[in-house]
Amino acid sequence: MMRIFVEGVGLLGPGLDGWSAGRSMLAGDAAYVAAPTNLRASDMLPAAERRRAGVPIKLALAVGQEAFLHSGRDPRTAATVFTSSGGDNDNAHAINAILATAPREVSPTRFHNSVHNAAAGYWCVAADTHEPSTSLCAHDASFAAGLLESAAQVTTDDAVVVLIAYDHPFPEPLHAVRPIAAPFGMALILSSRQTEKSLASIEVDFASGKVEETTMQDAGLEVLRRGVPAARGLPLLAALACGNAAQISIAYFDDNHLNLRVTPC
Amino acid sequence: MQPLVISHFTLANSLGLGLSATLDALRLRRSGLIPCVFEDVDLETYIAKVAELDACQMRPDQMAYDCRNNRLAQLCLEQDGFADMIGKAKKKYTAGRIGVFLGTSTSGILQTELAYRQLDSRSGALPADFHYAETQNTYSLARFVSRYLGLSGPSFVVSSACSSSAKVFANAARMMVAGVCDAAVVGGVDSLCLSTLYGFNSLGLVSRFPCRPYDAERDGISVGEGAGFVLVERATAENSSNAMLLLGVGESSDAYHMSTPHPEGLGAKLAMQRALASAGLQAGDIDYINLHGTATKSNDASEGKAVADVFGANVPCSSTKGWTGHQLGAAGVTEAIIGMLAIEHGFVPGSVNTRQLDPGITINYQIENSERKIHRVLSNSFGFGGSNCSLVLGRRP
């Protein structure tokens, strides 16, 4: 079991325009109304790079920036764990289409945005951080993998870690074989010690066997949780928003899962 | 860090299948680079290709995972008795206590590139036999390897471009300290595809010649494919006295540019310094450095500065990419294994294709092979997005 503290949250999804705006919906105090994700380029990036930034970079930078704003930490001092099922899916589609026809002119920007760690690269430049950064993928379990790795870094390296999870839809024809419901991102700033900013502690346990996953009470939010790999973290955000103690189960794969015990600070 | 015992390892690449093929090719200075013949690629360049892949068939129960990358993974898992060793480890630890942490940059994307040529002419749909999760998705590799080996511990793919399969050693080390698993399969696989060949070409980073690491006239990489797997376990009194160990890992970020390394090698230097600190060693304790050495102008210049700053001009260094090409997400584990072969066989690989060293780089770069006692090796892997990782491997002094 690993015990970590949350001291900042970032959120951006359909009808969830930031943690400050979205937490009352997650707590069940306000009605959730789905609306297109309010994507915008981050002012962390210089103008030229803002134009090149695809959806994942917009998501990742927005939620990361919001989480640091809440925690009051300097982003230069935090290690980063990025996790996503697909990276930049618009760009992947465009490159496949370009390579299927002559001439095969993949632009330099398309190519360097195609690496799974593109969002991490842009973040590290924008935040001016030399701390370790990793970029993970575990298909539908990408959020669980990111949380597990972040907890391991926090507890074994005594690091402050920002976990940034994001996913967004593919265009057709890939959307038909890998439907992702909407652009969604969330960030958590995690530390090994309680501070005055800590919202809650989370005990993270990796366990064998199948599990009945914790679901969202609101039907619309449950559709979102099921529809986006990165949104599998919503039950954790709901617990943080409510400020109550909670036990949460998140599936990893068929034969293993994460158990989380959330205790408000 | 608490050292990890490296119990078993294997690799497969353009030099052949298994450890002895790579060791022999290194000793005989036989490069794996050949003029580019791959699918219908029309680029004038050299590649490092695994010839045995064309005849490789997926195990029948894993046919949904059939793609070049997973075939290469399977081929590699069957070398040097690796899959059998995992069978023994499962008996010792149980399947749920062995983690799988693997690196890849492009996974099975070739499958999608080819599928986009066969879209339904009316609906635009992908062919019915296209399996996204099992091939294109970045996690496909770790899912396939977990299934193939029958493991159910924690698993994920690290995809940080060319540092991916070095960084997985750090993930495994942390998961073991945290008690999430007792052993882990780490490594990486990357295979030829059009995205990387045309992509690196668009950046002007692909050489028309076999790549020449650290040469004054170096002009780019040769893209390669390969795989490597390592079984790591916790060090105990019984298993570690004379064992090969992962002694230290250092990770850092450049915070400079998406596709160009920091000109002064700032991130590279931090990764090497952190790796030494994590191993509790000084620069003088390292006997050989396997460089990232991609043979681009910018990588070798910036890495060279960083190595000179941390190690001076004494420690023998070389890049082995003239043999293997740049295997991207499989480069880290391949070069870690080459470092371990150097220790086991008392042998420093030089650098094939390199003729005239860059006079601006003041490190002890080795062109010729040599025989000498090697106790500890440092291996560098740096990736797009400024993602850096250095490993220290060796035996206890």
Q: Are strands A2-13 and B347-348 parallel, antiparallel or unpaired?
A: unpaired
d(CA A265, CA A247): 15
Burial class (CB in 10 A: 0-12, 13-18, 19+), A50: middle
Whether the Cβ atoms of residue B227 and residue B329 lie closer than 8 Å to each other: no
Backbone angles phi, psi at A170, to 5 degrees: -75, 150
Is residue A77 in a domain? yes
Distance from CA of B116 to the nearest CA of A (A): 6
**A86:B137 CB<8 A:** yes
Give per-residue pLDDT as tens, A79-126.
999 999 999 999 999 999 999 998 999 999 999 999 999 999 999 999
B180 contacts on A by Cβ (under 8 Å): 2, 148, 152, 206
Mean pLDDT of B122-149: 98
**B174:A156 CB<8 A:** yes
Residue A232: half-sphere exposure toward Cβ, Cα within 13 Å: 27
Contacts 24+ apart (CB under 8 A), B258-262: B258/A112, B258/A113, B258/A118, B258/A121, B258/A122, B258/A125, B258/B384, B258/B385, B258/B386, B259/A108, B259/A111, B259/A112, B259/B203, B259/B384, B260/B298, B261/B298, B261/B299, B261/B302, B261/B303, B261/B382, B261/B386, B262/B302, B262/B386
Task: Report the SS3 class of residue B316.
Answer: strand
Mean pLDDT of B239-268: 93
Mean pLDDT of A155-183: 97
Q: What's A66's domain CATH number? A: 3.40.47.10
**B178:A152 CB<8 A:** yes
From the candidates B67, B76, B162, B389, give the one annotated as an active-site residue: B162
Mean per-residue pLDDT of chain B: 97
Give per-residue pLDDT as tens, B277-289.
999 999 999 999 9
Instruction: Name beta bridge partners: A8.
Output: A189
- What is the domain range of residue B132? 4-394
Return the closest-CA partner of residue A140 out of A54, A206, A226: A226
Q: What's B82's domain CATH number? A: 3.40.47.10
Residue B215 DSSP label? B
Which amino acid, one-letter code, is at B386?
G
Residue of B nearest to A106 (CA): B199
**A99:B116 CB<8 A:** yes
Task: Report the SS3 class of residue A28.
Answer: coil
A92 contacts on B by Cβ (under 8 Å): 109, 112
Residue B37 CB: number of other CB atoms within 10 A? 9
d(CA B116, CA B107): 16
**A112:B160 CB<8 A:** no
**Mutant choice from B221, B384, B390, B391 vs A, greatest count of A C-beta within 10 A:** B384
Global confidence as pTM: 0.98
Is residue A218 in a domain? no
Is residue A167 in a domain? yes
Backbone angles phi, psi at A176, to 5 degrees: -65, -30
Give per-residue pLDDT as tens, B195-242.
999 999 999 999 999 999 999 999 999 999 999 999 999 998 888 888
Provide the pLDDT confidence category of residue B348 given band limits of 50, 70 and 90. Answer: very high
The first and second tokens of residue B290, run together, are 């396997």
CB burial of A5-33 (b: ≥16 within 10 Å; e: otherwise) equals bbbbbbbbbbbbebbeebbebbbeeeebe
CA distances (Å), A215 to each of A185, A204, A226, A251, B15, in order? Answer: 18, 18, 9, 11, 51
Place of tokens 């070049």: B68
pLDDT reported for residue B120: 97
Pairs of CB atoms within 8 A across A/B: 212
B122 contacts on A by Cβ (under 8 Å): none
**Mutant choice from A45, A104, A123, A257 vs B, greatest count of B C-beta within 10 A:** A104
**Mutant choice from A115, A128, A158, A192 vs B, greatest count of B C-beta within 10 A:** A115
Which amino acid, one-letter code, is at A158?
D
Which residues have CB under 8 Å from B359's CB, separation 6+?
B216
Whether the Cβ atoms of residue A7 and residue A205 lie closer than 8 Å to each other: no
d(CA B210, CA A93): 31
Mean pLDDT of A150-157: 97
What is the greatest pairwise CA distance in chain B? 67
Distance from CA of B89 to the nearest CA of A (A): 18
**A132:B251 CB<8 A:** yes
Distance from CA of B124 to the nearest CA of A (A): 6
Query: Is pLDDT above 70 for A67?
Result: yes
Place of tokens 């359909």: A14
d(CA A132, CA A135): 10
Is residue A52 in a domain? yes
- What is the domain range of residue A153? 7-193
Mean pLDDT of A175-193: 98
Is residue A64 in a domain? yes
Give per-residue pLDDT as tens, B25-59.
999 999 999 999 999 999 999 999 999 999 999 99
Whether the Cβ atoms of residue B259 and residue B267 lie closer than 8 Å to each other: no
Return the closest-CA partner of residue A104 out of B107, B221, B193: B193
d(CA B172, CA B320): 25
**Mutant choice from A83, A135, A167 vs B, greatest count of B C-beta within 10 A:** A135
Give per-residue pLDDT as tens, A17-55.
999 999 999 999 999 999 999 999 888 988 888 888 999
Query: Is pLDDT above 80 for A221?
Result: yes
Segment (H or E) for A51: helix A47-52
For residue B76, indicate whether it is catalytic: no
Give me the percent of chain B exceeding a pLDDT of 90: 96
**A148:B158 CB<8 A:** no
**A117:B159 CB<8 A:** yes
CA distances (Å), B31 to each of B207, B354, B366, in order? Answer: 16, 12, 16
Distance from CA of B137 to the nearest CA of A (A): 7
Is residue A203 in a domain? no
CB burial of B127-153 (b: ≥16 within 10 Å; e: otherwise) equals eeebbbbbbbbbbbbbbbbbbbbebbb
**A134:B155 CB<8 A:** no
Number of domains present in the structure of chain A: 1
Distance from CA of A58 to the nearest CA of B (A): 16
- Give the residue ranges of DSSP H helices in chain B: 19-28, 68-77, 82-93, 109-115, 140-149, 164-177, 194-202, 266-279, 297-311, 321-324, 331-345
The first and second tokens of residue A193, run together, are 């010690």
Number of domains present in the structure of chain B: 1
Query: Is pLDDT above 90 for B63?
Result: yes
Provide the pLDDT confidence category of residue B397 given band limits of 50, 70 and 90. Answer: low
For residue B345, indicate whether it is catalytic: no
The first and second tokens of residue A49, run together, are 């790079």
